Amino acid sequence: MPLTPDLESGDRSHSLSPVESVAQISVILQDTDPTLDPELASLARQAAAEGIVLLRNERETLPLGLQSVAVFGRVQYDWFTVGYGSGGDVKVPYVWNLIAGLRDAGIAVDGELAGVYQEWCAQNRPSHSGTWGTWPHHFPEMPLEDGVVKAAALRTDIALIVIGRAAGEARESLREPGSFLLTDDERHLLDQVTTSFERTVVVIDAGNVMDLSWLSDYGERISAVLYAWQGGMEGARAVAGVLAGELMPSGKLTDTIAFSYEDYPSSANFGDPDVSHYAEDVFVGYRYFETFAPERVQFGFGFGLGYTTFALEIEKTVIDSDTLIAVVNVSNTGTQHSGKEVVQIYVGAPDGALSQPARRLAAYAKTPELAPGEKARVEMSFALTDFASFDDSGVTGHRSAYVLEPGTYPVFLGTDVRSAVEITAFEVSELRIVQKLRETAAVKAETPFDRMVLARDAEGRAVVAWEPAPTASVARAERVRAGLPEEVSPTGDQGIVLDDVAAGRATLDSFIAQLSDVELAAIAHGDITMHSPLGVPGNAGVLGGVTESLRAKGVRPVTTTDGPSGIRIGAYASLLPSGTALASSWNTSLVEELAALHGQEMVHKGSDVLLSPGMNLHRDPLCGRNFEYFSEDPLVTGRTGAAVVRGVQSAGVSACPKHFAVNNQETNRTRHDARVSERALRELYLRGFEICVREANPKTIMTSYNKVNGVWAHYHYDLVTSLLREEWGYEGCVITDWWMEDDVDPDFPALTNNAFRVRAQVDVLMPGGVKTESGPQDYADDTILTSLQQAEGLTRGELQRGARNVLGLVLALTPTIDGRSSSR
């Protein structure tokens, strides 16, 4: 496979992004090192393929085998590889399109029709204004005469229609044709093709969920449907491999696909530029649908077909010391194809004082590839206490505690949430306090709202009811005062360099004691601008050794680069499958293996910190950045994110989970207030981060732009200090998303902007400049040094605490394979 762009190829098999201009292409071609690790490319293809979800396959239409196929839809050439913005803007040396991929897989593609599309696409290149956030959601379709379609039907056996969608950073999906909905031209194309062909396959090339209700209108005329989450540079080739049967489909949905947008419980409270009330509370995604509206589900959470069938046999279930262990034998009962299966365990709960979803995911495991007749033994386990619920109102008599209410907790096993059947249950004889905590980041009393709860009608059916979301009852100021750290007495320069600390010749505190207030303040911000000259060209920003005096003491600059689908720098880099594609594989070992190779690529390209993985939930299908994130479920999110972190950090560099926290819409994202109950916050929106922190120990974490219950995340003491650091035990470095909003600490007026941030233990403002009315500026403010001089202002101990977190990151980054420091 060529590892450089082949712009003259008749297939355009390695063409660049369809929205790039000729000028951009000429600049890219000047790069002299387009070589990518072939092992990384191969594993990226496998991961993309395992994330593809087969939603329908009537009459064994797929795999295509030796059948000839006529491909319709311009996306066959203008393939969407990834979503928009910093999460996907990677300088990639090649991109497969679908026609090239099908031919590579040995599929007999109708050349006459492909030629018509190729010529039209070449003359009608997609374009946009170039303005940030105005990228196209779709590309207008090529008009087709009925005669062209009928002629193709005489030459070929099967039709394949490709429909593409994209969204991204600052680019929400819209409830409009061409985004969430089909266009009239796409509907007309479906009508034309399904009228002329006996069997039609539809491939959805997208990063977000789109409306699929139209599938019902066509019945068996659409005999197979693949949801191909954006798979990066190898994505179209992965789709071709699955269609051909070279690769077996094994992906499962990480989101519920409902019949209409209005069916989603978030739909009434999404997209307001100022405030979103998370009124659905803990009833997000399948938690809502399986409890209240199962009839509104088109394709359920965890669903996905293969080219073969499987049987599950329970070998045993054991409860041992608060852990449930299930051993399952999985057999491939088909006769023709191999495949992998995902075994899923869900847990229900009794009705109690706290409303509970009908089912919650407890554990999952993916089998190895099994040949027909082959069997695998799968063992899964989970802690019973994982299903304790957080009482944020005191309704159980134990406010701010995780409790298990008395009753029967049924356990379900299956291959998706809907098909799972009860296999056992565990009993809780009396109310059990699992963990007593303290109120954190609660809803403000001045901004109340009602939240969804479970009620029962006269027949015992679940119905939606409402109650006021609990509001804050604890004053923040005293908590902050009680948590102020002690100061390390300044010593002045003692000649200690950071390598002395690394070698054990000096303590970190003795190094920090040397630092002046000016140096401590410098550590608290990045190198003022993106594309810092202290890092590799095209970097997102540099932190750590950002001044000459710090570098003289051995504090090396730490280079950050955008992710998560690749390394966004000036040089060529791999474009990997989107977050949703990776999660849809339900294969954490594969994700970790891919991330480990990606970490090695970071070392070679000069990146120390990859701003990845994206960890926010798919609360609503219209969120533009859903492609970067993993799932509507926090367990899938946490386990997949932890796999990425472990893999990346195995190379001696750092991953940086983001956006902490509750970044679930792009509309007015820097000013938007996400108002969410403490229970939903802990059980859903923070749970994935918590799993990732506890299982993978990321060296860096990034805050989000938005407010959480009235406080910007980069100032949020409750989230960053009380919860992340004190409750979860996180000891790493916390950075802002790029730039931040001005504000004054409501309890300590001497703290503004960066001083306010440092008190929250958000260690570094990235990239370090100041955001003003006219836009970001390349200078640092003086609020930290000014606050140090004021009553109840910032303390030197707080600055030293932040420096300790940053320097810990610098020390944790290991040398590269050629002996140079990975912190440049």
Residues carrying an active site annotation: 737
Handedness of CA 733, 736, 737, 739 (dihedral sign): negative
63: left (phi over 0), alpha (psi -120 to 50) or beta: beta
Contact yes or no for 64/245 (Cβ under 8 A) = yes
* Residue that the structure tokens 């950075």 belong to: 735
* Residue that the structure tokens 């394709």 belong to: 299
CA distance linking residue 151 with residue 143, whole number of Å = 15
| 673-675 and 707-708 strand pairing | parallel
* Residue that the structure tokens 């399109």 belong to: 97
CA distance linking residue 549 with residue 571, whole number of Å = 30
At 493, give phi and psi (nearest 5°).
-65, 120
The two three-digit tokens of residue 426, written as one number = 């565990």
* Residue that the structure tokens 């063992």 belong to: 379
The two three-digit tokens of residue 458, written as one number = 């006269």
Q: How would you label 785-798 residue by residue, b for 16+ Cβ within 10 Å and e otherwise?
A: bbbbeeeebbbbeb
CA distance linking residue 367 with residue 340, whole number of Å = 5
CA distance linking residue 503 with residue 170, whole number of Å = 45
Contacts for 154 with CB less than 8 Å, ≥ 6 apart:
none
At 407, give phi and psi (nearest 5°).
135, -170
* Residue that the structure tokens 């992906």 belong to: 251
Q: Give 342's DSSP letter.
A: E
CA 545 to chain centre: 30
Which amino acid, residue 252? K
Where would I find the H helices in 650-771? 678-680, 687-696, 717, 753-759
* Residue that the structure tokens 């209005």 belong to: 262
CA distance linking residue 526 with residue 517, whole number of Å = 16
User: 492 exposed, middle or buried (CB, 10 Å; 0-12, 13-18, 19+)?
Assistant: exposed
Going from the C-alpha of 144 to that of each of 68, 113, 222, the distances in angstroms are 20, 10, 19
CA distance linking residue 52 with residue 49, whole number of Å = 5
CA distance linking residue 476 with residue 427, whole number of Å = 39
Question: Per the omega criterion (within 30 degrees of 0), is the bond before 767 cis?
Answer: yes
Three-state secondary structure of 624-679: HHHHHCCCCCHHHHHHHHHHHHHHHHCCCCEECCECECCCCCCCCCCCCEEECCHH
573: left (phi over 0), alpha (psi -120 to 50) or beta: beta
* Residue that the structure tokens 């709860």 belong to: 453
Q: Which of 635, 645, 624 is nearest to 691 (CA)?
A: 635
CA distance linking residue 727 with residue 346, whole number of Å = 27
Numbers of helices and strands, H then E, in the chain? 23, 32
CA distance linking residue 86 with residue 614, whole number of Å = 12
Annotate 395-418 with DSSP letters as a single string: TTS-TTEEEE-SEEEEEEEESSTT
CA distance linking residue 616 with residue 634, whole number of Å = 9
CA distance linking residue 257 with residue 285, whole number of Å = 9
Where would I find the H helices in 245-305? 286-292
